[in-house]
Chain A
């Protein structure tokens, strides 16, 4: 470092002089797209045409921008869910199950309670979705503090259980005397289609500036408000302080008299609630019913969004718009360039790797790290099984 020749060389590398917080994520994205291009080349596709189609499909028209925002909406909420759990050192890969349970709860309220005015019905349906996700999220939290069962395995198992449970709720009924599920729509069931009834008009989240955008709904506003609330909880409230302390040093938190178990359960419940809300706004705002093909999230997007956004609420919003563009533009890319939209998932995995291991980006672009322990991706996850 002290060597003058070294320093002169450093000055010539302009990258090293930039310390903007956006630099590392942007370089990670750039690299991910470059590697994605190589994979496309190897599989005989034209990456330039693909990326042009992607850009067009994401931002090329008002319709494309609408699609990006619409796709970004649930990502904001699942991203917040994962990011919030991260703060307490918990890894929530159960967002997809919580999303489904939230969806189911909100639809259950949305299709019933006829005659209720909109100012009661809509909030009730939203709250039901929040509660459904929160309950489903609280389970792995409870299992963790009660018996030390690691949330990575329990949340994944609960994803499968939720998926089966919701499939039962909407099941059209079978030929061998299998009863239809409680939420199944009798009209569709008569044709053998498993789906719920449409939610009542009083429980529908209205569109957001319908003359400008298409199919962008007030769920976007719900998501942005949720980001604000999460920011407030984490930064300004005592509970947020406790969450961060638990995440940074469990023993210190115990010593300081923080009720660690309670914090963990509540954190998982909030994370679950946020993911449940993602399913809720997607259903009440966009699909207006639940059918199996509407499973918007695998839960892994939330992890990418959370890490790309540095686990900060506003970072999550930004990275959700990016992911929304990626997934929203994918269809146009497939249509224009004939490249299968699944390549997006590959790019997503590369983004995840490069964001979580900034050291790789530093090596590629020869950036010196300022601090030795900068490479923890802003989070401290538990490293063991807690057994």
Chain B
């Protein structure tokens, strides 16, 4: 990769524009949402496009993408490409499902806790495996990620038993006061545990990545490992740690599908979400807050698809409506690449001299 060509001034101008556009978008959506809820406009097209239903669905659809994109950010900021998010997510979903099904006799909160923990552990194991293959065994990281997907798909299908039942999900709980805010309280502050966790992780990671010692190290080993090494940072050790943590994050996205959204495991239930997460990561310029925005956009594409199918307002065959999330991903990717910049040392094996 060539050295970054953007000057400091150029970067900050882009940043300012991005921030301005983001705030403008948020305000527009907020106004439209209020109009959809409070005026008769909401009975028509506006209700379909910006009603409470579609916005709530947007957030639900965005949560696995947020976890996936954060996983990608953690790995790629430290220089490891993670194509295997899809596999880690699927493994996490399966890990959560198995424990949930086998702890059905325990009180629900305990069972949910153990299932979430199981997803985290399974995901961390997948992340560690990815790090091991790409660092210790110098496997091409794209192929390693692909292998993880095949492995997760194969193992989860082989071990899956449709007789196992998972009963009970994370229920929505309303955050006091905040959930009373008209319109938005119901959308943003009446959700399940994993949704809050995803949103919290965005801000935590945004802070840690740019304000903490760990964040500085992570960015250093992803941009210029040789320099980081000279400064006494153990490049590969931090790559192992971050990739393992990244695996756990992706798995939480899978856990969300089983424990909060669907309530059951289905073979191949991630349905490309891992790859859409990668696009969200790129669109969000490898920043947690950016990834949140991008995931919300992709979540909206999915929600809109769902809403259009349910409302039956259009005569377009449902197959074409279902393409919406995938087409959106391509369009966004095509529109944005070149304006964002990947960590410089991504995908390269680092060896001390």
Contacts and interface: CB of A to CB of B under 8 A. Distances in A.
A359 B138 contact: yes
A159 to B, nearest CB: 8
Contact of B147 (A147, A352, A379): A352
A387 B322 contact: no
Contacts of A164: 319-320, 322-323, 326
B139 A165 contact: no
Contacts of B149: 300
Counting contact residues on chain B (CB < 8 A from A), the size range is 35 or more
Which secondary structure dominates where chain A touches chain B? helix
A352 B329 contact: no
Contacts of A356: 139-140, 143-144, 147
Interface string B223-265: 0000000000000000000000000000000000000000000
A114 interface: no
Contacts of A375: 137-139
Interface in B115-167: 133, 136-144, 146-151, 153-155, 157-159
A386 B337 contact: yes
Interface string A351-365: 011001101100000
B340 interface: yes
B275 interface: yes
Interface in B321-337: 322-323, 326-327, 329-330, 333-335, 337
A156 interface: yes
Given A168-B319, A303-B146, A357-B139, A157 B347 contact: no
B142 A381 contact: yes
Interface residues of A, number: 58
A178 B317 contact: yes
Contacts of A152: 83, 142, 275, 278
A143 B317 CA distance: 26
Interface stretch (A52-60, A129-137, A340-348): A340-348
B137 A350 contact: no
Interface in A150-201: 150, 152-154, 156-158, 160-161, 164-165, 167-168, 171, 176, 178-179, 181
Contacts of A382: 347
A365 to B, nearest CB: 14
A309 to B, nearest CB: 14
B297 to A, nearest CB: 15
A307 B340 contact: no
A197 B326 CA distance: 29
Given A168-B319, A179-B317, A340-B158, A350 B140 contact: no
Nearest to A169: B319
A384 interface: yes
B317 A376 contact: no
A376 B319 contact: no
A153 B333 contact: yes
A176 B317 CA distance: 11
Contact of A345 (B146, B153, B317, B335): B153
Of residues A168, A304, A352, A377, which shows the largest number of chain B Cβ atoms within 10 Å of its Cβ?
A352
Contacts of A238: none
A383 B146 contact: no
Contacts of B340: 387
Interface in B171-217: none
Contact of A161 (B147, B159, B326, B347): B326
Contact of B142 (A91, A160, A376): A91
A338 interface: no
Interface string B90-121: 00000000000000000000000000000000
A356 B337 CA distance: 29
A43 interface: yes
Contacts of A179: 317
Contact of A387 (B142, B153, B342): B342
A345 B1 contact: no
B275 A349 contact: no
A385 interface: yes
A143 B139 contact: no
Contact of B334 (A147, A352, A359, A379): A147
A300 B337 contact: no
A148 B338 contact: yes
A331 interface: no
A153 B151 contact: no
B53 interface: no
Contacts of A270: none
A352 B150 contact: yes
Interface string A299-329: 0100110010000000000000000000000
25 contacts: A146-B334, A147-B333, A148-B337, A149-B333, A152-B142, A153-B333, A154-B330, A157-B326, A160-B271, A164-B326, A300-B146, A300-B149, A344-B154, A347-B154, A348-B150, A349-B151, A353-B139, A356-B147, A357-B133, A359-B137, A359-B138, A381-B143, A384-B347, A385-B346, A387-B338
Given A156-B275, A345-B150, A346-B154, 19 more contacts: A146-B334, A148-B337, A153-B330, A157-B275, A157-B326, A158-B326, A160-B323, A164-B320, A342-B158, A345-B153, A346-B158, A356-B143, A357-B139, A359-B139, A375-B138, A377-B140, A385-B282, A387-B282, A387-B338
- Of all A-B residue pairs in the complex, the 8 with the closest CB atoms, nearest first, are A383-B347, A345-B154, A349-B151, A168-B319, A357-B139, A349-B150, A342-B158, A346-B154
